[in-house]
Amino acid sequence: MRKLIGILLLAWVTLTSASIAQANETLKIGISGYPETLHPSFSSSAVQSYILGFVRRPIMVYNHDWKIACMLCDTVPSFDNGLAKKVPLADGKEGVQLSLSLPQNAKWGDGVPLTTKDVAFSIAVGQNTNVAVADKEVFDRIVDFNVVDDHHFTVTLDRIDYTYNAFMGVEILPAHLEKPVFDQDPATYQKRSLYVTAPATPGLWFGPYLVTKVITASAVMLEENPYWWGKKPQIAAIQLRNFENTAALEASLRAGEIDYTPGEVGLSLDKVIGFEKRFGDQYDISYKKGLSFYHLDVNTDFAPLGDRRVRQALLYAIDRNEISQKLFAGKNAPTLDFIHPDDPVFTDDVPHYPFNAAKADELLNNAGWARTGNAMRKNAAGDTLHFTLYGATESSTGQLIQQVLQNRWKQAGIDVDILNQPARVLFGETLPHRKFDGVAMFGWISAPEHLPLTILKSDQIPSAKNHYEGQNYTGYNNPKVDALIDQIELELDFNKRVPLWHELQKIYAADLPALPLYHGESGFIFPKWLKGIRPTGHMYPSSLWAEQWYRTDQ
């Protein structure tokens, strides 16, 4: 018996050491979340972009300097370099034709060259009316597509706006693998695609890494792509593991089972700050300001909040600075509006709302919500000033902030209930159907100088009539803003655009269809030996530059 135990122990030790040796070649990344699908066209979420960043590349991206750059093309077209030109369209309007070229040596993960055929196929898929791609608008704007040769193509877009040269959103699919599947029956393609049925097929991918193993909802395994044409990656294999519980993610990090957790889809900022306090000396921790805008969408059709004075009072009554200082160690500083301070079109010449209880009191009194003693405010009809503060169950940070806000508003005599719903319910039902009787707290991440067209324009208010299209959940309806957005969109001259942006911000900050909280920062926890990762701060994640990553311990 003792002998047997001895043998078992030996086996244990050897197997354990074997797995440690193997682990050294693999970078293990802990993420929180798992995408609905690995098919690039059918869904887009932060976690999906993060995973796909390793294994495929968009045609163009915003780079680390928040400028448009080519990834799967040679030159960004512009009117100046002649690769973009204005062309008349069939309906008499003016469109833009872009000439693009794919890298000569681009190949799929199975060695098949990546050519304009693939681009043509991808556009055909996106434009097919039986296919529900995540971003249909991108494809609707393409009025013409022409193949010049295997590596050159032109594409004509239906309008000339200030981002006319950003050909983004068309994800390249491998025609040699997916076309037969698609042609069989476009309507059911989404279910039969190899991205769904056999995601570890090498020919589906073309990044520095290939997907080699997928365990649905828990992990994705990546290995070096032998046909990658760019810089050879330094790290041979990458493991992405999903954690549904952040305490477990943190434990795995401390236990050394994962090496790294990225700010894009890892621990929330407050967790990283807490982690830094305790183990900051053992890790490299960095923070990145980002284009994620956290705010409270106000349902302006909910009577008490339809009054602009009440919305302004709500903002005066909360101390966003205190939240930043105390919950986020000074990060996530209060923001003026949806434009990030680092964005070139930002202005701070807009109404500010620092914490000011007296001002809130005055505004509420003017709006007819009087207060006697410490009771909740009532109007002349005797109704209490009351609304519901919605949020996502998944966001523990959000729930902290909610309780702080609720407390502050109670002090100001405003009765607030908190109601948290799973993200799917909040974003799939409550917000699009505008069923929220109060305000909803969430954030969205965008690109630099991104036009909030779907969020602010009055024809983007979701309703049964437009099939709940658009994200103007607040019901904001201001003809001036509608006009400004149209003007900005079509103004190609940056210097002429800037004043329009400033005007838009001023109106926004005065009207407050949403109460701005902060622009979110994200925290990255690196092991000391992992270098080369550069956070971007926008919707294009750091994994798109994964071939630059390296480790210093080998």
Partner 1 sequence: MTQPRKGSAGAHPRPKSASPWRLAAQRLSRHKLAWVSLLILVLFAVASLCAPVVAHFLGTDAQAVDLFSRYGPPGPGHPLGTDELGRDVLLRLLYGGQVSLMVGVSSALCAAVIGTIIGVIAGFRGGWIDSFLMRFTDGVISLPLLPLLIVLAAIDPGKLGIPRDIINGESFSLYRIILIIALFGWTTVARLVRAATLALREREFVMAARALGGGPVRIVMRHILPNVITPIIIATTLAVGNVILMESVLSFLGLGIQPPVPSWGNMLTHAQEFIWDAPLLALWPGLLIFITVIAVNFLGDGLQDALDPRADTDTMPETGQNDTQAAQWNDPRETTS
Partner 2 sequence: MRRFIFNRLWQTALVMVLVSFGAYVLIGLMPGDPIDLMITANPAITSADVARLKGLYGLDQPLMLRWLHWLWAAINGDFGYSRLFTQPVTTLIGPALVNSLKLMLASWALSLAIALPAGIYAALKPQSFRDYAINLAAFAGVSIPPFWLGLVAILVFAVTLHWLPAGGTGQLDNASGWGGLRYMILPVATLTIASVGSHIRFVRGSMIEVMRQDFIRTARAKGLSERGVVIRHALRNGMMPVVTLLGLEFGSLFSGALITETLFSWPGMGRLIYNAVIGSDYNLAMAGLMLATLVTLIGNLLADIGYKLLDPRVKLS
* Bridge partners of residue 255, in order along the sequence: none
Q: Does 428 bind partner 2 (CB under 8 A)?
A: yes
CA distance 371 to 374: 7
Give the CA count within 13 Å in the CB-facing half-sphere of 116: 14
What is the nearest approach in angstroms of partner 2 to the Cβ of residue 17?
A: 10
Residues contributing to the site for partner 1 (CB under 8 A): 246-247, 250, 274-275, 277-278, 322-323, 325-327, 388, 393-394, 396, 399-400, 402-404, 406-408, 410, 417-420, 422, 425, 435, 437
Handedness of CA 308, 310, 311, 315 (dihedral sign): positive
CA distance 255 to 29: 13
Task: Give the CA angle between residues 270, 271, 277 to the nearest 5°.
Answer: 90
| Residue corresponding to tokens 């630099």 | 448
What is the nearest approach in angstroms of partner 2 to the Cβ of residue 190?
A: 7
Burial class, 380, CB count within 10 angstroms (exposed 0-12 / middle 13-18 / buried 19+): exposed
CA distance 385 to 416: 8
| Residue corresponding to tokens 């909802």 | 217
Region binding partner 2 by CB under 8 A among candidate stretches 99-107, 176-184, 242-250, 526-534: 242-250
What is the nearest approach in angstroms of partner 1 to the Cβ of residue 259?
A: 18
Q: Which of 397, 421, 446, 474 binds partner 2 (CB under 8 A)?
A: 421
Q: Does 215 bind partner 2 (CB under 8 A)?
A: yes
**Residue 246, contacted partner among partner 2, partner 1, none, CB below 5-8 A by kind:** partner 1
**Residue 274, contacted partner among partner 1, partner 2, none, CB below 5-8 A by kind:** partner 1
CA distance 163 to 446: 14
Q: Is the CB of 134 or the CB of 539 nearer to partner 2? A: 134
**SS3 (DSSP) at 524:** strand
Q: How many residues bind partner 2 (CB under 8 A)?
A: 58
**Residue 468, contacted partner among partner 2, partner 1, none, CB below 5-8 A by kind:** partner 2
Q: Which of 69, 198, 236, 247 binds partner 2 (CB under 8 A)?
A: 247
Q: Does 468 bind partner 2 (CB under 8 A)?
A: yes
How do strand 26-31 and strand 237-242 relate by DSSP bridges?
Answer: parallel
**Residue 129, contacted partner among partner 2, partner 1, none, CB below 5-8 A by kind:** partner 2
Q: Quick one: tokens of 264?
A: 């894009």
**Residue 231, contacted partner among partner 2, partner 1, none, CB below 5-8 A by kind:** none
What DSSP state is assigned to residue 186?
Answer: G
What DSSP state is assigned to residue 252?
Answer: H
CA distance 391 to 296: 9
| Residue corresponding to tokens 């039986």 | 130
What is the nearest approach in angstroms of partner 2 to the Cβ of residue 132?
A: 4
Q: Which of 12, 229, 494, 529 binds partner 2 (CB under 8 A)?
A: 12
Q: Which of 18, 148, 236, 303 binds partner 2 (CB under 8 A)?
A: 18
* Bridge partners of residue 370, in order along the sequence: 378
**Residue 418, contacted partner among partner 2, partner 1, none, CB below 5-8 A by kind:** partner 1
Q: Which of 147, 400, 425, 492 binds partner 2 (CB under 8 A)?
A: 425
Region binding partner 2 by CB under 8 A among candidate stretches 175-183, 227-235, 251-259, 518-526: 251-259
Task: Give the CA angle between residues 91, 94, 95 to the nearest 5°.
Answer: 100
Nearest CA to 172 out of 228, 117, 119 is that of: 119
Q: Does 39 bind partner 2 (CB under 8 A)?
A: yes
CA distance 253 to 1: 37
Q: Does 216 bind partner 2 (CB under 8 A)?
A: yes
Q: Which of 257, 342, 348, 349 binds partner 2 (CB under 8 A)?
A: 257
Instruction: Give me the long-range contacts of 427-433 (CB less than 8 A, separation at least 24).
Output: 427/392, 430/390, 431/297, 431/471, 431/473, 432/462, 432/468, 432/473, 433/462, 433/468
Q: Does 459 bind partner 2 (CB under 8 A)?
A: no
Q: Is the CB of 128 or the CB of 234 nearer to partner 2? A: 128
Question: Contact, 26 vs 527, CB < 8 A?
Answer: no
Q: Which of 67, 424, 480, 528 binds partner 2 (CB under 8 A)?
A: 424
Residues that bind partner 2 (CB under 8 A): 8, 11-12, 15-16, 18-19, 22-23, 36-37, 39, 42-43, 129, 132-134, 136-137, 140, 190-191, 196, 213, 215-219, 221, 239, 241-245, 247-248, 251-252, 254-257, 421-422, 424-425, 428-430, 432-433, 467-470
